[in-house]
Structure 1
Amino acid sequence: MSRKCEKDTQSNNSLLNYFAVLDNASQISSPIPSQIKIPELLEDDGSSESEGEMFKSDTHVRVLEGAGDWKAHRFSEEPFPTRKGEVRMRNFNDLKLNDEELNGVLSQRMIAWSISNLQRVPELNFYAYVKLSLEAKELTDITAIKKYHFIQYLDLSFNKLTTLQPLGDLPFLQYLYVSHNELENLLDFKAPFYLTYVNFSYNHVKKMPDLKDFWSLVHLDLCFNEIEKIEGIESLRFLSHLDLSHNKIQVVENISNLRLQTLLIRSNMIDTIEEEGKGVGISTLHLIRTIDLTYNNISSLRYFEGCYNLETLIIAANKISSLTDIYCLRSLIHLRSLDIRDNPICCLPYCMSMCYRTLEHLHELNGDEVTAKKRVMSKFTPNVEYTLRARLDRMELLLLEQMNQPMSSGVMLIISRRMLSLSFSSTRGLLEYTFD
């Protein structure tokens, strides 16, 4: 029993010394978070190594090797209470800033007046503040944040930051808000363990780097930047929400086989969606539920034909002009909302009627509810000009296909006349067979 008590006492003393080293981490030349280890797990070899040297040792990797219980929250939408639910003992507006702080340099005083949410640190028997909100503080230098290793939630929105490299010392960071800054490089810091939510909107990012080190990303918001090409996200297998609205993208590419559920690419210059063979393109997004491509130059709906779990498709203000594109969506049995407003197709007669008849599971069309009365009225429309036009287009394609066969001119002329005669004589029967 005496040996056990002595061992527990040594472990507790070692932990106290370890936390004292953490408090003075800023005085150490190179405090690398990935090199920290729980001191109680180390064997006592009787050496006289100082605590500072232990902290810098490359053998101390146990504490930060796994995030413990914290990793269970990485799929939560709002694991931290909002500001209304927080109890703050201090008001940041009551803090009188010195000249250095007024010039955008983050200090420990500013952090102390902004940090909140006390939580127990995993695998260690103590508590730490994990939420830090520093939005709209005119910050340009956040080097002081390196000391606070256990921050999980960080809000640096509405500042003047040009780099985020100091965040490499926050291994437990999960939620990052840096919108409305002056950042040109995307996530230019060492990847934390479970970075889940990133809001990088309203910055100056032009190129997406390879984000394979940030494998745990679930929500990525890059709207209102200057991105020209989608790249670097092929390895983000947990990514479910991607927002690239208001950029300069021309082609939707490099998103094959991702686990996306929401894809927002509004207000770009997209005229092409990647479609090169099987297993490539937007049709491989088997979990996709919402797609928003408003204000682009897309001319066809056939790209979405294989998105069988799609529930909401917003593709207003594009260049869709053919009624046959509506027929491409007939296999999407989960499609509940479709918005094709401000497309040339909406000017064609019976466009809405064809949507009602073809898309049987639709609940909302162009912002209006699809009622049973509208569906019934669409089936009793006496004029079927749109179906006739669709059938004639198909007959023309069949005719062109036959004409491309290597035949003599006389045989081709006879077949052409017979096919043309057949297309007009059997149009009524084929219409009923195809659309009913």
Structure 2
Amino acid sequence: MADWWTTDATHDPALTSWVESAQGHADFPIQNLPIGLFSPSGLAPRIGVAIGDRILDLRACADAGLLPDDLAAACRGSVVNDLLGLPADRRRALRHGVSGLLSDPAHRSAAAFLHAAADCTLHVPARIGDYTDFYVGIHHANNVGRQFRPDNPLLPNYKYVPIGYHGRASSIRASGVPLRRPLGQRKPPEADAPVVGPTTRLDYELELGVWIGPGNALGTPIPIAQAADHVAGFCLLNDWSARDFQAWEYQPLGPFLAKNFQSTISPWIVTAEAMAPFRMAQPARPQGDPQPLPYLLDPGDQAHGALALTLEAWLLTARMREAGGTPVRLSRGPATSMYWTVQQIVAHHASNGCNLNPGDLLGTGTISAPTSDGFGSLMELSIGGKEPITLPNGETRAFVEDGDEIILRAHASAPGRVSIGLGECRAMVMPAP
């Protein structure tokens, strides 16, 4: 099997599709081919592939005999778990098959299996058994830690172990589903006792989501050199946070109601195979930082484990919307601000024998750049609410307000390659019940 960073004919910059909208599409040219779950009007959810502004119905392709039998079975599912659980070489075979269908003019008859994306509903693609959120954005960790521990923002374990916690899978929603401002317990600084009510410090978090592929048996760790075999793909993830709830409840067991009310994901899984041209060396650690322990250190991962992705967060307020305005960008920064690679967090997660399953979702944690124009949360941009940011229309924001819509975007690019995107991750905040 080819190395996970190896490119092939499906990545060829000269490759084009007979689907006209794929040419020059910002997110979904033929070099991408992300997998998702969609409902055409009046039909049940089915697995599809995004191509330009269209969606190819993989169930229909399977029923028409256009896919090998083992792939056809996985593509007929009501969720993508079986497809994600395929070995990497079979996922690669599916990619090659779909690429051929959409690039070879002899297969134009497959146009009968295309749907206009604008006419379809997109869903959370997998039945997510478990969700784990990590904390690998070191600049975010420094920025937030500095607000609570100015002299010691990072705890001693941060540079030795990928920090994570188990989140709530049941409240993950696809892009476009509104967020209801959560109720909870918080303790205002001037009060002697906590109060219950809507959060006053609602925040977004700009993260990558990592979809697990085949996974491992209980009690069997995943070696770091094999971790990439268990990464099926990527999405964007907004792990909404109620900062006031979090400050009151997080000791001694960590986040709870501050995090579990809803997380929003972009609905398309950009496969690990699609990301092969955008692999790059993991940035060297600062001088004096410890080397990763042996179970987290692999030459291939260090040489190819980082992602050439640019991440962006945008805001559309209710006033902007009413005035017919467009979103304003809050931040823009690289995914290389991750202190640990995706493969390292997978290997660490399974290092104690914890079993990962197809369709499990991991979050990287907030990814922030070293400077404020790349901060991945309002907690950082407003310095904990002390310095609200001013928007072009004169509005100010310390935290997210009702009627605000947060939009996350990401694009992968590399010299000589066709750029691909992860699609939008967006949700509007509705008032508390």
User: TM over 0.5: same fold?
Assistant: no
Short-chain TM bin: under 0.3
Q: Which has the larger radius of gyration?
A: 1
The higher relative CO (CA closer than 8 Å, separation ≥ 6) is in 2
TM-score w.r.t. structure 2 length? 0.19
Under a length normalisation based on structure 1, what TM-score does the superposition of the two structures give? 0.19
**More strand per residue: 1 or 2?**
2
